[in-house]
């Protein structure tokens, strides 16, 4: 959470508002982003931190709220170290943890190919749309993310996937298993 130290210079004709680089830090927050690229649906949750318990609670939301009828939920994840079924046992009673982990199927992006991750592309959009302005409170971050998410969901905005399997094999031929 960042606070401006100085006042921005006002806008003038043909010139944007100018903001100083200096800021005062007031803590951090974690953003959990979930994206269904084919349907253009997403969810973003703001928490105070990113612990195993926080991750487990977010995964529980997938099971209980987003996909209550699904037998298996396939989740593509980045290569962070917190994603293992064991995290459920740190946050929930053993029976509930077992029920949750039976439904999760994790797929990890490779460390060298994380640029392929559509969620990363989706998460970069708010910054490009200037929604990532300095916020001093988590409530402001939640409100701004919620408004952005609702607008994107209403528009059913998807990520255009431009890489075909043939193009990928041409570019990364050294990884071809043949």
Residue 128 has pLDDT above 50, yes or no: yes
- How many Å apart are CA 3 and CA 23, to the nearest integer? 6
Residues 7-36, mean pLDDT to the nearest whole number: 77
Cβ-count burial 58-72 (b if 16+ within 10 Å, e if not)? bbbebbeeeeeeeee
> pLDDT digit string (tens) for 137-154?
667 777 777 787 788 888
- Secondary structure class of 122 (helix, strand, coil): helix
CA distances from 44 to 144, 145, 150 (A): 11, 7, 10
pLDDT in tens, 25-83: 767 778 788 888 778 888 888 888 888 889 899 999 989 998 999 999 988 776 666 67
Name the one residue in this structure whose structure tokens are 């487990």.
56
pLDDT of residue 43: 84
Contacts of residue 135, Cβ cutoff 8 Å, sequence gap at least 6: 1, 2, 141, 144
pLDDT score, position 92:
95
Instruction: Please give the full DSSP string across 63-115, using - where no structure is assigned.
Output: IIII-TT-S-EEEEE-S-TT-STHHHHHHS-HHHHHHHHTTEEEEEPPSTTGG
d(CA 97, CA 22): 45
CB atoms within 10 A of CB 154: 9
Confidence of residue 115 (pLDDT cuts 50, 70, 90): very low
Give the mean pLDDT of 104-121: 67
| Structure-block tokens of residue 101 | 């982990």
At 91 the pLDDT is 93
Residue 106 has pLDDT above 80, yes or no: yes
Mean pLDDT computed over every residue of the chain: 77
């Amino acid at each position: 959470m960042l606070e401006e130290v100085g006042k921005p210079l006002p806008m003038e004709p043909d010139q944007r508002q100018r903001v100083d680089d200096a800021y005062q830090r007031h803590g951090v927050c974690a953003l959990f982003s979930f994206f269904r690229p084919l349907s253009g649906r997403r969810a973003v949750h703001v928490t105070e931190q990113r612990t195993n318990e926080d991750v487990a609670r977010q995964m529980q939301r997938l099971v209980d709220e987003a996909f209550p009828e699904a037998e298996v939920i396939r989740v593509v994840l980045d290569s962070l170290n917190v994603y293992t079924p064991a995290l459920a046992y740190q946050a929930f009673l053993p029976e509930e943890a077992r029920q949750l982990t039976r439904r999760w199927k994790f797929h990890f992006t490779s460390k060298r190919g994380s640029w392929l991750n559509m969620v990363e592309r989706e998460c970069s959009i708010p910054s490009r749309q200037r929604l990532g302005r300095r916020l001093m409170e988590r409530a402001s971050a939640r409100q701004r993310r919620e408004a952005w998410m609702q607008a994107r969901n209403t528009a059913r905005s998807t990520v255009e996937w431009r890489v075909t399997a043939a193009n990928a094999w041409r570019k990364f031929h050294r990884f071809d298993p043949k």
